[in-house]
Amino acid sequence: MPQALLFGAVASSALIVGALVGMRFELPKRVLAILLSFAAGALVTALAFELFEDAYEMGGIWRAAIGLLVGALVFTLLSALLDRAAQPGKGAPADEVAGSAKLDTDAAATDARASKASTRGTAGLALLAAVTLDGVPENVALGVSLTEGSGGLALLAAIFVSNLPEALVGASSMKEQGMSGRKVLGLWSVCALLLVGAVVLGAGPLASAEAETISLPLAFAAGAVIASLADTLMPEAYEHGGPAVAMSTAAGFVLSFVLSLA
């Protein structure tokens, strides 16, 4: 249990760090794109070697495949609703947002004016909801990996580096909307505590569950991750970083893969 708390605290600390940076600094969009693409590369390793592979070994291909598709479907449907919430209201001119409207980096960047999605604050709140949506199954899977003896370092690194830019962008959007720093930090702190609890859940009550049962949250998390890559992280990274993000994506993959061998 102490190890689960430690891993949960490290993974979720990125939300607090990202929120603090987002409230205090504005970064060039290319830097944000590099962060997002690096996170995407790390998540590719995690979903392939820490999530889906374990789900397949524990529950077989059909259980793993169905769990992955369900996770991807749930994330896609809820992500579409969150994107709609982050768009300007009726009667307001719509900003053209490539990728995902909820991951609107304008508020966090020095080289672009904040879009209406950012200044309305819904982009930040929607991103907070999205982080919680895919973060809970990811962190449950992280807790499960600790009980299976696989270490979970690659998944821990992937969760950390993906949480950081998402919290940064989300907190910046909330700040642009006029939300107080205390409230912004409080919201992201609550999310961080929830995700720590998910790790403890995976390492505690689920530790004694049957392998077939454990395979389901692992596969669901893999589906949510792969959907978030296609729907949010990769489109946003390419939009603002161009072809150069290919190298940072590769670097994230290599680092995460090396950690998976530890």
pLDDT value of residue 190: 93
Supply the pLDDT for residue 79. Answer: 78
Joined together, the tokens standing for residue 207 give 């530790």
Instruction: At 63, list the tokens.
Output: 């259980």
The helix, strand and coil proportions of the chain, stated in percent and rounded to the nearest 5, come to 85, 0, 15
What pLDDT is attached to residue 141? 82
Cα three-residue angle 67-65-40, rounded to 5 degrees:
80
Give the CA radius of gyration of the chain.
Answer: 17
Q: What does the pLDDT read at residue 98? A: 54
Task: Write the burial class of residue 248 (CB in 10 Å: 0-12 exposed, 13-18 middle, 19+ buried).
Answer: buried
pLDDT digits (tens), the chain, 262 positions: 778 888 889 989 999 999 999 888 877 878 888 888 888 888 888 888 888 988 899 899 999 999 999 999 998 888 788 777 666 555 444 455 555 666 666 666 666 665 655 555 556 677 787 788 778 888 888 888 777 665 678 788 888 888 888 888 888 878 877 788 899 999 999 999 999 999 988 888 777 778 888 888 889 988 988 988 888 788 878 877 788 889 999 998 998 888 777 6
